[in-house]
Each structure stands twice: as structure tokens, then as C-alpha cells.
């Protein structure tokens, strides 16, 4: 006997036993007191109730299938709280002794083998015997609470107890709001204590342990008393909860009432002319005063604060005003980001002088960037002026600088270095593709979602009145029907006007005079002249081979090794390897492409290092050693990208090489001319602009005017000319190819090839003069990259030539020319001239006598290396 339940020894698996007898009895004998056991988890089924149940565990599924083979009845009993409730058949001590006989009204077998069953409770029962057969358990029960014919009606005492239970249940239903009206009606009409306990017990929202206890009483009065005790306890708990909820609701209503009264009081004060200062308004006022703005700003802020006090907090205008005042409070008006200088201690080091600050700034600029001497000198001059004015103590107007040069030359990173050298905050605005004027000056605050422009947004981000402000890609601005942002920048970049810059949103003057503005551009041609006139242009030219080599060794290689986790490895790049990458894998003025190619090399080396066993769990990276040589580059980078196919090594008739200056740097410009019998017409191809086409017509007109000075092989008046500049997909324009076009035409007319390895540049006038050109350094670098031996330059560019680095000047031979005749004497021999007796040459000088070279090339300048 366990827990008052006699237990038969469990039958062996598959052997006939109590379960077999139960199945036999169920299939052939109705009303038998032996049933399959259905253990339930956290669920109690009362008689006279209908309950849906999901059966997912093995013992329950076997019991359901056993009942389906009989009269569809089972004995449902709940697990005790301390039971394991595992899938195995329960032990006698794990379940309650009392349960309910239930009948399956509906059943549905699910795809996973589980069942969804709707049970109808019939009557209670107590387990008297339990037998197991595998996963199935059978029980013998003693029925309880079955109504008998001729049973007496409840006496007065029992009837009074029933009515107390009914009243308590009605009160419970009012508190919980979870009992249906049908259940209340059935419980009120019933005259059976058993049925009343079953209906109310099923409707109670209590745990399974309390519900199971309500099944265990055999005496009706005791069962009713226990049910009444549970109902009274639940009613007391629900009453306390209702009381607490009422108090919370009362407090909320009180706050709402206070809010309404407060709003009424505000209206009364407004009518009486009294003012009330709220915490939010006071906080805004204190925040604005703490920023120490000018008197005009304070007056405007006070006016808007007074308006805000009179508005409803939830009104749209109040939100607009609040946002406007928060912007005033967030903007820096006087903060320079520097703490006041403290007096040095008597025994401490002497205070730093202006020379110390200047030397430190110079050291930072030199450490971050190679070359760029003009830009560095201008920044150091500004620092010197600031030191003479008292450091950060007195306002000094910031210059408006524009770094102009090809991509990849370090213009943007130079701005960051300037900020570090000045110890200032750095902010950057990308102007590429900006088309709306409001992006610069903001929208009126009356518009929904209005904000200040990028200038004031960046000033708030900087938090100081004197940051370094980088306007990146200023030449990429564009305009449309929404306005011209370049025109909006006129006030920002004018040192005489930006002390009172006015944003459309703020509508207050804001001082930008202490900001150091730095703009970057690839080309100055697309910048409107009024805007360009306000900036101090500093050219950032492209790099020569020696400069690129130094940059790669000092900056690019260490950076890429560190970023690719090879900073500790012993990897070295030979100088000739870096030069080969510069010559055959990149064709640029900057170093961006060089950086990418070096990164490719380093990544390949990183892969080889991992394949060789280096890494976290292998050999230490610091022991990895590799030297990158010229011969091993193709294994790392693949075949060469540039082979200089546009340049012929031998001289050819009608083919002359000019020099071009583009936004991406310098480039070689081959010009080809063919002549054939015709009527003197000129055909020009190669995607040339109007200015370059005009240069071709000027060259032809000049040669026609001077045809008596040359030995033409064809009649210029009866010859058609076709001038072509290769790479026709690339637009080309500008006047500096004038002398190149004339030389190509002359070579075709005379049938003589010009000298090999010579490039030239210069604008040709109708009278034969050669005018100076721009972009000299980029053009010289292009000539060096393409292996030119000599470059012909206008005499007006001599001073620009002298400013170039010595290694660039020594890499290529140079001749300075003033007229077209000077150029022709360098390109052709004297046989092209027709010198009559007693006449001078083409330019008024003796024919065949070349001009004296102004700059002698070095002995090693033959290949430009």
C-alpha cells in the first residue's frame, strides 16, 4: 500500500495482466470500474464539465488509444506538485488518489502522433488498485458523487452552505470578470451540491493543487465548506487588488485634474498679465546665457522665450520655438575649446614660447605629409601671425585656403594634419553633388522639419568657434531650380563678410571669422570666379617618381603592413620594386593607385604567410620574413597594366607628342595628321573641344601664311588634312596643344618625321608666338612617365620650371622657345626650309641656326629615369 493505494506488481512487457483485463472489460462490459489511466500535467478535470486537452506524452497517447478501442472512457488524474511529470508511466506516489472518469467526445490525431481530445467529465472516483503494462497504466476505482435515484434533497444546513457558496461565486465573478454569464446562471439554478462544486471548481482561476483538493472530499458538506473557503480567500485577494487599482486610478485622475487646473491657472495669469516661468523655459534660458552670445542673440532669445511661455506645451508652434531655442543653446558662440592658461609654478619649467608652438606644428606637418612646401609654409605663416596676436586669446581672422590638385595627392588628409598642428577641432563637409542652396544656408524655421544648413550643423558638431573647416570637393558643386549653393558660399568664404554670416533658420548673425576654412578641388575651371576670387589657391601638384618612392617607403608600406596584420613581420620592399609599381602598374599624379597596389602585394603576402603556418596558433608573425623585388611583382600583382603603347619609339611622319593637364594629372597627347589630295579642308577627330579645334585652324592658317619659308612636298591649297588625337572616348580641350598641332601639320606637309622622344606644349598665336601654359609640373611628370627625352616649353614658363624639384628637372631635357620657328628648328633639320638668298628664317632669324639651349639636360636624362 502506497499513499493509501494498493498496488499490484507490474506485469511484464507483453504479458497478460491487469491492463489486458481492463481492455477486455472495456470492450465487452459497460460500467466496469477499471479504466486506462490518463495522467495530466497542471490540469484537473471536474465532472459535468467539457475540457479540450492536448495529449503529447507517451503514457497519455497509449491511454487514449486504449480507450478508443473500448468505450472511450478513461480515468483522468493530476500529477502532484513534487512529481517529475516525465513521459514514463507515473508511480502511485506521483499522482493524486482522486480524479474523474472522463469520456472522449471528440478526438483528432495530429501528424506528430499526438492527440487533441475533448473530454466530458462524468463522475469522481478514488483509485483502489493500479497495474502497469509497459507505457500503459490501468486503474481500478471506487466511484464517488454519482447521483442515486430517490436521493433526498439537501437539508437546511447544506442548503444554507450552498447559497453561501453561490453568493461568494457571484462576488468572485464580479471581481475577476472572467466568468461567463452562462456559468453563473447554471450555478445559481443547480440544487445538487456535487454539481455546484464541480461547476464552480472548474471556473475558479486557481492552481491545480487547490483544484485537486476540491475533488478529494467525499462528504458534500465538507466539500462545500472547502470550496467556500477558497472562494472567500480569492475574493479577499481580488478585493485588495481592486482597492490598489482604485487608488492608482485616483492618483492618476488627481494628476489629470491638477494638469487641467494648472492650464486654467496659466490662462488666468495670461489674462491678468502675469508670467509664469516653467522649469523647461528656465533651463533653456540658463543654457543660452551660459554660452555667452552677443547682445543681439540674447535679445532674440528672450523674445522667443517669452513667446514660448505663453504657448500650450503641445501646440505645434511651441515645438518649433523649443527646437529653435535649443539650436541657439547648442551652438558655440564664444568657446575656443582652450582652457585658460595657468600660471607656471615657480620651480617648474618655463612657459612655452611661440617658437616652440611653431616648431611643434612644423614637425607635425612634416611627419604627416611629404612635400607640399607651399601649403605647409602658408599654415606656418598663419600660426606665426596668431602667436604675435596673443595665441588663442585674441581673435585672428582665419584664411580661406583652397588646395587644388589631382586626386590622391593628400589634400583632404592635409586638412586633418593642419587641425592637429593647430590643436583645433576638425570638421568636414562633402560638397560633391550638393544642388540645394538650403544645404548651405538652411530653411526658414516656419517650414515643417526645417533645420540650419551644413555650416551651422558642423559648427555645433565642432563645439568651438575656431575649428578647421574642410569644404571637400568644392569644384563638384552644382545648381538647379532650388538655387545655387556656390553663390550661398560667397558670404561664408569672404573674410570681410563671414563675421556676420546669417543662416535662414537662425536669422541671427553668426561669427565665422575665426574659422580656418580649407577647400579642396581637382580643377579650378568649374568654380565660379566670384567664389574662386575669395580663396587663396595653393596648388598641390602631382608627385614625381622620387617623391612617390619616398611616400611609399615612409607612409604607405608601413600603413598597409599594419592594417593587414603584418606590422610585426620583417617585410621589405626594394626601391626598384616600388619604382616598377609606379611605372607599370599605376599611371597617376597622386598615390592612391600606388597605395592600392601596395595593399594588394601585402594581402598576397599575408595569404602566403598563413599558408606557411604563421598565425595565431602557428608560428609567430614576427618571424615571417619576405623581401619584395622587381622580378617577383608579376607573381603578386599579375601582368603589367601600362605599356606606354601610345608613344612610338621611332620617329614617324605626322606624329607629334603634346602634353595635357587634366583633373587627374598630366597625360601625354599624341597628335596624328594625314594629308591627301583635296581642296584644303580640315577634318578634326578625337573628341576635341571647341578651343582645341580653334587651335588646329590657327595652326593651319599660320602655316599657310608662312608657306614660302618651307619646302612643302604638297600644295597646301589642294591638300585635305585629317588631324586625329587617339583615345577618342576621352574629351580633350584647351589651347596649349596649338604648337603640337602646327608641328604635326608641318611634318605632314614636308614629308619629314620630327625628332624622336620630344614632347612639347604651348599656345600658338596666329603670328607664331608661343604663350605660357598651366599645370607645368603635371605635364613634365607625364613626359617622364612616358619616357620622353626632351620637352619644349614656352619661355614664359621658365620661372615655373625653376620652382620644380631638382630631381624632376634632372630627369628630362628642356628647351625654352618663344616662337614656332624655334620649335621647328628643334624638331626638323634645315632641309625643310627654303632659304632664298639674303632672306631670314621663318622667325626673322637665320635659317638652320638653332637657338641656344636655355637648360641643359643631365647626362642620364635620356630615358627620363
Q: Which residues are catalytic?
A: 736, 779
Q: Which residues contact 377 (CB under 8 A, 6 or more apart)?
A: none
- Report the DSSP pairing between strands 50-55 and 73-78: unpaired
- Give the CA distances from residue 842 to residues 251, 334, 385, 674, 748, in Å, rounded to whole numbers and listed in that order: 107, 69, 55, 23, 18
Residue carrying the nine cell digits 615571417: 624
> Of 429, 431, 426, 457, which Cα lies nearest the Cα of 442?
457
- 385/381 Cα distance (integer angstroms): 6
Q: How far apart are the first and last CA of the chain?
A: 109
Q: How far apart are CA 728 and CA 568, in angstroms?
A: 48
Q: What angle is formed at CA 333 by the lines to CA 283 and CA 375, rounded to 5 degrees?
A: 145
Reduce the DSSP state of residue 668 to 3 states and report it. Answer: strand
- Cα 650 to chain centroid distance, Å, stands at 53
Angle ∠(458,463,464) on CA atoms, nearest 5: 100
72 conformational bin, left if phi > 0, alpha if psi -120 to 50, beta if neither: left
Cα separation of 166 and 179, whole Å?
Answer: 13
Distance CA 93, CA 84 (A): 11
Long-range CB contacts (within 8 A, 24+) of 318-321: 320/445, 320/446
Reading phi first (left if > 0) and then psi (alpha if -120 to 50, else beta), residue 590 is in beta
Strand pairing category for 665-677 and 655-662: antiparallel
Measured distance CA(378)–CA(632) in Å, rounded: 43
| 3-state SS, residue 149 | coil
* Dihedral angle, C-alpha 727, 732, 736, 740, nearest 10 °: 30
For residue 826, which of 853, 850, 798 has the smallest C-alpha distance?
850
* Residue 40 CB coordination number (10 Å): 24
Cross-strand pairs, 144: 124
**C-alpha 398 chain-centroid distance:** 32
Q: Phi and psi dihedrals of 280, rounded to 5?
A: -65, -45
- Strand 770-771 and strand 763-764: pairing? antiparallel
| The three grid cell numbers given for residue 190, joined into one nine-digit string | 443547480
Instruction: List the grid coordinates of 593.
Output: 593607385
Amino acid at each position: 500500500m502506497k499513499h493509501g493505494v494498493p498496488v499490484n506488481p507490474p506485469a511484464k512487457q507483453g504479458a497478460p495482466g491487469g491492463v489486458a483485463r481492463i481492455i477486455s472489460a472495456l470492450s465487452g462490459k459497460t460500467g466496469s470500474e477499471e479504466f486506462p489511466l490518463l495522467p495530466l500535467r497542471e490540469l484537473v478535470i471536474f465532472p459535468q464539465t467539457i475540457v479540450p486537452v492536448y495529449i503529447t506524452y507517451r503514457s497519455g497517447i497509449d491511454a487514449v488509444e486504449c480507450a478508443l478501442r473500448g468505450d472511450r472512457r478513461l480515468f483522468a488524474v493530476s500529477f502532484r506538485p513534487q512529481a517529475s511529470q516525465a513521459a514514463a508511466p507515473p508511480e502511485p506516489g506521483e499522482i493524486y488518489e482522486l480524479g474523474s472518469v472522463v469520456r472522449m467526445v471528440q478526438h483528432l490525431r495530429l501528424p506528430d502522433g499526438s492527440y487533441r481530445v475533448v473530454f466530458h467529465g462524468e463522475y469522481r472516483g478514488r483509485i483502489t488498485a493500479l497495474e502497469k503494462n509497459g507505457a500503459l497504466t490501468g486503474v481500478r476505482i471506487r466511484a464517488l458523487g454519482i447521483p442515486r435515484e430517490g436521493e433526498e434533497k439537501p437539508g437546511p444546513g447544506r442548503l444554507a452552505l450552498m447559497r453561501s457558496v453561490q453568493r461568494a461565486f457571484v462576488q468572485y465573478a464580479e471581481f475577476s470578470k472572467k466568468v461567463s454569464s452562462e456559468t453563473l446562471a447554471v450555478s445559481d439554478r443547480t440544487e445538487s451540491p456535487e454539481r455546484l462544486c464541480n461547476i464552480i471548481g472548474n471556473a475558479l482561476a486557481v492552481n491545480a493543487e487547490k483544484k485537486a483538493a476540491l475533488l478529494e472530499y467525499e462528504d458534500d458538506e465538507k466539500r462545500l465548506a472547502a470550496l467556500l473557503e477558497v472562494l472567500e480567500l480569492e475574493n479577499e485577494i481580488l478585493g485588495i487588488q481592486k482597492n490598489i487599482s482604485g487608488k492608482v486610478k485616483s492618483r492618476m485622475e488627481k494628476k489629470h485634474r491638477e494638469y487641467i487646473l494648472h492650464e486654467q491657472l496659466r490662462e488666468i495669469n495670461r489674462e491678468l498679465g502675469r508670467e509664469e516661468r516653467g522649469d523647461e523655459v528656465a533651463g533653456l534660458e540658463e543654457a543660452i546665457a551660459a554660452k555667452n552670445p552677443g547682445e543681439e542673440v540674447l535679445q532674440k532669445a528672450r523674445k522667443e522665450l517669452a513667446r514660448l511661455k505663453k504657448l500650450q506645451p503641445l501646440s505645434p508652434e511651441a515645438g518649433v520655438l523649443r527646437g529653435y531655442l535649443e539650436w541657439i543653446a547648442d551652438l558655440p558662440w564664444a568657446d575656443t575649446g582652450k582652457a585658460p592658461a595657468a600660471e607656471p609654478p615657480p620651480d617648474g619649467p618655463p612657459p612655452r614660447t611661440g617658437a616652440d608652438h611653431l616648431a611643434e606644428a612644423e614637425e607635425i606637418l612634416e611627419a604627416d605629409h611629404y612635400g607640399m612646401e607651399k601649403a605647409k609654409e602658408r599654415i606656418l605663416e598663419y600660426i606665426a601671425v596668431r602667436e604675435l596676436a596673443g595665441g588663442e586669446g585674441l581673435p585672428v581672422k582665419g584664411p580661406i585656403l583652397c588646395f587644388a590638385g589631382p586626386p590622391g595627392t593628400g589634400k583632404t588628409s592635409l586638412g586633418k594634419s593642419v587641425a592637429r598642428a593647430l590643436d583645433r577641432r576638425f570638421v568636414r563637409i562633402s560638397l560633391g553633388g550638393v544642388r540645394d542652396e538650403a544645404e548651405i544656408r538652411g530653411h526658414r524655421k516656419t517650414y515643417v522639419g526645417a533645420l540650419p544648413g551644413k555650416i551651422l550643423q558642423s559648427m555645433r558638431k565642432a563645439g568651438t568657434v575656431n575649428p578647421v573647416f574642410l569644404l571637400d570637393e568644392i569644384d563638384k558643386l552644382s545648381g538647379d531650380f532650388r538655387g545655387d549653393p556656390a553663390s550661398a558660399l560667397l558670404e561664408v568664404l569672404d573674410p570681410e563678410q563671414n563675421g556676420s554670416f546669417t543662416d535662414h533658420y537662425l536669422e541671427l548673425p553668426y561669427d565665422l571669422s575665426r574659422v580656418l576654412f580649407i577647400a579642396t578641388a581637382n580643377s579650378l575651371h568649374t568654380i565660379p570666379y566670384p567664389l574662386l576670387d575669395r580663396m587663396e589657391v595653393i596648388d598641390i601638384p602631382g608627385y614625381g617618381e622620387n617623391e612617390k618612392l619616398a611616400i611609399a617607403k615612409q607612409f604607405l608600406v608601413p600603413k598597409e603592413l599594419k592594417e593587414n596584420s603584418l606590422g610585426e613581420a620583417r617585410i621589405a620592399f626594394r626601391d626598384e620594386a616600388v619604382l616598377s609599381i609606379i611605372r607599370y602598374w599605376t599611371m597617376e599624379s597622386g598615390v592612391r593607385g600606388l597605395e592600392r597596389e601596395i595593399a594588394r602585394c601585402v594581402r598576397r603576402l599575408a595569404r602566403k604567410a598563413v599558408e606557411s603556418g604563421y598565425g595565431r596558433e602557428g608560428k609567430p608573425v614576427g618571424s615571417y620574413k619576405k623581401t619584395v623585388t622587381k622580378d617577383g611583382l608579376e607573381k603578386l600583382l599579375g601582368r603589367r597594366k601600362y605599356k606606354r603603347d601610345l608613344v612610338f619609339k621611332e620617329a614617324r611622319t605626322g606624329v607629334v607628342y603634346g602634353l595635357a593637364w587634366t583633373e587627374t594629372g598630366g597625360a601625354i597627347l599624341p597628335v596624328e595628321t594625314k594629308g591627301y589630295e583635296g581642296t584644303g579642308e580640315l577634318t578634326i577627330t578625337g573628341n576635341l573641344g571647341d578651343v582645341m579645334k580653334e587651335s588646329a585652324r590657327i595652326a593651319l592658317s599660320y602655316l599657310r601664311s608662312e608657306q614660302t619659308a618651307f619646302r612643302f612636298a604638297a600644295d597646301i591649297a589642294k591638300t585635305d588634312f585629317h588631324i586625329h588625337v587617339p583615345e577618342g572616348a576621352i574629351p580633350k580641350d584647351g589651347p596649349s596643344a596649338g604648337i603640337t598641332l602646327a608641328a604635326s601639320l608641318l611634318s605632314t606637309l614636308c614629308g619629314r618625321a620630327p625628332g624622336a622622344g620630344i614632347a612639347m606644349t604651348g599656345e600658338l598665336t596666329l603670328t607664331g608666338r608661343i604663350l605660357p601654359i598651366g599645370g607645368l609640373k603635371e605635364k613634365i611628370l607625364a613626359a617622364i612617365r612616358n619616357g620622353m627625352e626632351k620637352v619644349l616649353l614656352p619661355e614664359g614658363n621658365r620661372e615655373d620650371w625653376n620652382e620644380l624639384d631638382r630631381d624632376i628637372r634632372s630627369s628630362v631635357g628642356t628647351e625654352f622657345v618663344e616662337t614656332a620657328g624655334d620649335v621647328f628648328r628643334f624638331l626638323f633639320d634645315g632641309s625643310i626650309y627654303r632659304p632664298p638668298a639674303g632672306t631670314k628664317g621663318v622667325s626673322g632669324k637665320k635659317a638652320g641656326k638653332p637657338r641656344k639651349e636655355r637648360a641643359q639636360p643631365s647626362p642620364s636624362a635620356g630615358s627620363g629615369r
